[in-house]
Structure 1
Amino acid sequence: MMRRIPPSQRREELIAAAIRVIARSGVAAATTRAIVTEAQMPLGAFHYIFENHDELMSAVVEAVTEQERFVAETRSVDATSVQAALLSGLNGYIDLLAAEPERELALLELGLFARRQDADGQMRTQWESYFGTAAEVLQYAAELTRTRWTAPLPDLARLLVASLDGITLGWLADHDTAAARRTAAFVARALAVYADSPDAGGTTAVSRVAREPRPDDD
């Protein structure tokens, strides 16, 4: 007999089951039947919630990305500077990565599988969603600390995503959380160079560094 649970909860359970199956056995093994078996649901429950398998895979990407954004924006954030705020968010991501690595494994599996199927298809869409989320997080950090970005936000978002990809792969390889946090500190400091207070008279961190005298200056 099908358990009487709300559709929203059933949807969450199917997404969680899909993540476990993908992380454990890869995307190819994450058939609809394997996922409902993992979720301990009848096959009919799947079709009641999702139109097809692709819709569930998209829901997996959306759910994990949204949780990462939520963690970055809602954990206890140090708002004393944009660098501190970014580091708080990055450390929140690392906490989530260390606690639930299967989520990131699932996303990587999905992205690589999609790339092999279609070079201009779902992987592009997946990473575009990452870039969008990163831009939202950067904008939130700027608003929180009353600063503004002095470089194009889309470029900074791509830098943040590239850095997070590196942190993720490094941690999945060695599980060195302390090293991941050190890398996060470098990333926060590098991004903060492109933040400036509106009250600073238009003098950005980049221009200040550029004007500093060097030891060999006359």
Structure 2
Amino acid sequence: MRRIPPSQRREELIAAAIRVIARSGVAAATTRAIVTEAQMPLGAFHYIFENHDELMSAVVETVTDQERFVAETRSVDATSIEAALLSGVNGYIDLLAAEPERELALLELGLFARRQNADGQMRTQWESYFGTAAEVLQYAAELTRTRWTAPLPDLARLLVASLDGITMGWLADHDTAAARRTAAFVARALAAHAEGSDADGPATASGATRERHPDDD
């Protein structure tokens, strides 16, 4: 049996789960199917994860974190908020085109959870997306010294809804050029709700500049 560190074993189990879910659906992604895909004994799974649900949560968390990493670390055009947003969304499209099974797995997990419980894991999953989108939008605003003029939670929902649409469209037709045209439209639409910063500094998470304090003078 291979001797690999727990952190690597965890990554391999998550990757195996993504492949199984994308290929055969959540119902087929049993613990045994996942360890077989990962070429590990069943005992290795229970050494890393307490149960199947914990692994499914790890899949969502891992893919979401990787998407945020791509959006925040790729070469970003910081000349304007629109350019910065377009860089981030195009980075997501690059990731989607390179590894579509990741997004298939997330969609499968969300829909499966919704059928099981209307107020359960799917809500939690999308709340994590909204939170990540808000972080990315705030990062873009700080990078370009602009501030949002609309509530950040509303803009985050708009970004998530747009990315969901881009994802579904690309999975249906694999038209990357069309996806990038949609990305440009989304970037323009979001940028319409931003304006340049003033002397008070970057925006806060709520979209308003901080109040000036007498000690600032």
TM-score (norm 2): 0.91
**Residue of structure 2 in register with 1:34 after alignment:** 33
SS of 1:148's equivalent?
Answer: strand
Structure 2 CA distance for aligned equivalents of residues 131 and 164 of structure 1: 11
Supply the AA of the counterpart residue of 2:15.
A
**Residue of structure 1 in register with 2:8 after alignment:** 9
Structure 1 CA distance for aligned equivalents of residues 165 and 141 of structure 2: 23
**Residue of structure 2 in register with 1:145 after alignment:** 144
Deviations 1:74-115 (A, max 9, x none): 000000000000000000000000000000000000000000
Give 1:4 deviation, angstroms: 1.1
Supply the AA of the counterpart residue of 2:74.
R
Sequence identity percentage: 94
Structure 2 CA distance for aligned equivalents of residues 77 and 198 of structure 1: 19
SS of 1:58's equivalent?
Answer: helix
Are 2:115 and 1:96 aligned? no
**Residue of structure 2 in register with 1:69 after alignment:** 68
Runs of 4+ in 1 over 4 A off after TM superposition: none
Give 1:200 deviation, angstroms: 9.4
**Cα RMSD after superposing both structures:** 1.1
Give 1:161 deviation, angstroms: 0.1
What residue ranges of structure 2 are gaps of 5+ in the alignment? Answer: 201-217
SS of 1:27's equivalent?
Answer: coil
**Residue of structure 2 in register with 1:58 after alignment:** 57
TM-score (norm 1): 0.91
Structure 2 CA distance for aligned equivalents of residues 67 and 83 of structure 1: 22
Structure 1 CA distance for aligned equivalents of residues 67 and 152 of structure 2: 19
SS of 1:196's equivalent?
Answer: strand
**Residue of structure 2 in register with 1:106 after alignment:** 105
> Aligned pair count?
200
**Residue of structure 1 in register with 2:180 after alignment:** 181
Are 2:87 and 1:85 aligned? no
Structure 1 CA distance for aligned equivalents of residues 137 and 191 of structure 2: 10
Structure 1 CA distance for aligned equivalents of residues 122 and 148 of structure 2: 28
Are 2:165 and 1:166 aligned? yes
Give 1:198 deviation, angstroms: 2.0
